[in-house]
Amino acid sequence: MRQRLSSEPDRYRGRRRVPTPPRSRYAAVVTTAFVGAGIVALGANALPDAKSVSPSVLDELKQASITSQDVAARADGADTATRDGRAEAKASTEQDVWLLPLHGYDFKSPYGMRWGKLHTGIDLVAPEGTPYVAIHDGTVTKAGWFGGYGYAVIVQHSDGSEAIYGHSSAISVKEGQQVKAGDQLGLVGSTGHAYGPHLHLEIHVNGQPLDPVPWLGDRGVDIKLQVEAIYGDVAAS
């Protein structure tokens, strides 16, 4: 009877002293530390290790990164397109330049019948040795003696038209040379069939001479008033 009474308190006390396993407390501490570290890392904009992040979070991070790269690429592409557009516009504008062949001249002998023959150009009287320039971009197809024109320069433009500059005292270019509007071609003279120092200017389209006055006027150049538009589209605006 005494043995049974003395053994019951021992079993009771044993059940009361069952402790919480140390492993559970350690896991709780580790889990708390991991969550805290994750919050700090995300707050610092650090990209977590793929092994410690769920697939859904990784997908969101990847998508955000791709979107940022796409936006940057599109912005860079738009900037490049803008620069290219400006370059093309500049190149196009430069090709539209039409100028007077020289300044300070007297307009003489217009296009038309003279002494029973067609005068196929216009004469711009200026002192001998005055430099004259290309009225438009083109290629020099003739630079030398040219019959009644004396020493002459012919420039073919990109639209197929040609400008003939006659009676030069000297020539500054050679055949095959590319010239821009405003480049010097030669000096005013009186070589060939000329009555005195002047520049004879002709315009040919499809091999036929045209009156240079209205033709140049359509391109912003008033050769009688010695007025030139910087760009050919000014006259049309």
Question: When comparing pLDDT for 227 and 69, which is higher?
Answer: 227
CA distance 92 to 219: 15
Taking residues 161-186, report their average pLDDT: 98
pTM over 0.85: no
Tokens of 89: 């516009």
State residue 8's pLDDT score.
Answer: 47
Range of weakest confidence among 3-17, 93-107, 176-190? 3-17
CA distance 201 to 152: 10
Taking residues 138-146, report their average pLDDT: 98
Question: When comparing pLDDT for 236 and 77, which is higher?
Answer: 77
State residue 84's pLDDT score.
Answer: 57
When pLDDT is cut at 50, 70 and 90, the band that residue 72 belongs to is low
- Residue 91 scores a pLDDT above 80: no
State residue 96's pLDDT score.
Answer: 85
When pLDDT is cut at 50, 70 and 90, the band that residue 148 belongs to is very high
- Residue 219 scores a pLDDT above 90: yes
